[in-house]
Amino acid sequence: MRPLSILLLVLAVPLAAQQPAAAPSASVPDSTVADTVAPGIVHTYLVRGAGPWRAHVVRVALRDGRYAVRSVRALDSLRGRETVSAIVARAQREGRDVRVAINADFFDVRTGESVNNQVSDGRVWRALPWSGRPRAPMRSARGQFGVTRDGRPVIDRFVFAGTVHALRAQWALDGVNVVPANGQGLVLWLPEGNGRSRADSSGTARELRVRVMRGSWRDSLLLRSAGQPAAADSAPLAAGEAALVAYGSAISRLDSIAALRGVFDIHASWIPSVGAIEQLIGGWPVILRDGVPMVEDAATREFTASGNANVRHPRSLVGFDADTSHLFLIAIDGRSSASVGMTLAEAADFLRTLGVSHALNLDGGGSTALLVNGRVVNRPSDPQGERSVANALLIETRPVRP
């Protein structure tokens, strides 16, 4: 399924739910209720008759380093889906103090694979040289939210730009755990990619099995060749194994690496460069930059579908203020008479009133779920309740070091 079709399916709602909202009801007074969740974390519930809208806003102080922002995959797997509640419960069983959580990237409803890049605690789960609609005349990249190694939040349209080094030679690495949509590139596959064929539709992809000797994505991975290039397949990779897979014209790169018959290392980097990225998760599209709404040209910049941008939906959003001192996680309810949801333009304007300068739209609709202290505070719009999703953003209390 093409990513655009996936996203439309995720956001699909009955036609009646896509009609413009009725005039605001004078019987619904505006109200704002704020609650301190923990020192530096405030949860605010806003009711606005002008929509009518109901929104939950969590504001997290970042400067004192009390809290860590983490991107977490459902089931701790590249494939599969899990509710945000289940993701939080699993993290808590691991001894983590999760204060706030929200659903994140769009995903393939069949496999649970997220559409965009993801980095968790420095570990690259999925990386793309570009994203957006496959085989489109223009290549683009969708918006993503990240946290640098020094704790600074960032929002941009990041693309992966890895490198392979051996002796004095260097080659481009185009992705991690993904078959390139355009059929071109050199990709590193790791065991978390098991369950998906590494071969392309043309059947011409070639792979070189390698051993992971040591290192990590935070610095570099040291690999050793373990054979000769062969046709790419779907044979599972064991712990400590990996495969360099070449698609299209990248086969010549793979042959050059294999000819060295030795050790080489792999480095991850991202464009634009913001320093080392510790957490990264996708969305679609960027709606605020430096306090300026970015919605109007999102259709050409990020291939935003009008059914997403210009229709009132439940929304999940992440953003931060101008000096990056506070992070905002927002859930806007929708598809009900009490709260109709927002268009992207309405969401951008709403966030500006909160003091947000940079913001990204996350997967919304029935996927929208915001948890505070383990409890879902918004009203998910699916009839069955909270939807299983691909990944989530968590706000955790950092352990106190002795």
User: CB of 229 within 8 A of CB of 188?
Assistant: no
Sign for the pseudo-dihedral over CA of 389, 78, 359, 399? positive
Element (H, E) at 351: helix 344-353
Identify the pLDDT of residue 20.
40
Q: Is the peptide bond before 134 cis (omega within 30 degrees of 0)?
A: no
Nearest CA among 385, 309, 401 for reference residue 347 = 309
Please tell me the distance from the alpha carbon of residue 348 to that of residue 363, in angstroms, as a whole number: 15
Identify the pLDDT of residue 22.
42
Residues near 105 by beta carbon (within 8 Å), at least 6 away in sequence: 114, 115, 116, 118, 281, 282, 283, 362, 363, 390, 391
Identify the pLDDT of residue 12.
37
pTM over 0.85: yes
| The two structure tokens encoding residue 271 | 């464009």
DSSP 213-275: EEE-TTS-EEEEE-S--EE---PPPPTTEEEEEEEGGGHHHHHHHHHH-SEEEEE--EES--S
Please tell me the distance from the alpha carbon of residue 213 to that of residue 225, in angstroms, as a whole number: 10
Please tell me the distance from the alpha carbon of residue 364 to that of residue 183, in angstroms, as a whole number: 30
Residue 12 DSSP label: -
Sign for the pseudo-dihedral over CA of 276, 281, 282, 286? negative
pLDDT per 10-residue tile (average), the chain, 402 residues: 38 36 60 97 97 97 96 96 98 98 96 95 92 52 95 96 92 95 93 93 94 94 94 95 97 94 93 96 97 92 88 98 98 97 98 98 98 98 97 95 68
Burial class (CB in 10 A: 0-12, 13-18, 19+), 29: exposed
Residue whose pair of structure tokens reads 């439940």 in the numeric block: 314
- Beta-strand ranges (E) seen in 49-168 are 53-61, 67-73, 97-103, 118-120, 123-126, 144-148, 153-156, 159-160, 162-166
Identify the pLDDT of residue 5.
38
Strands 175-176 and 185-189: parallel
Per-domain residue ranges of the chain:
29-156+275-397, 162-268
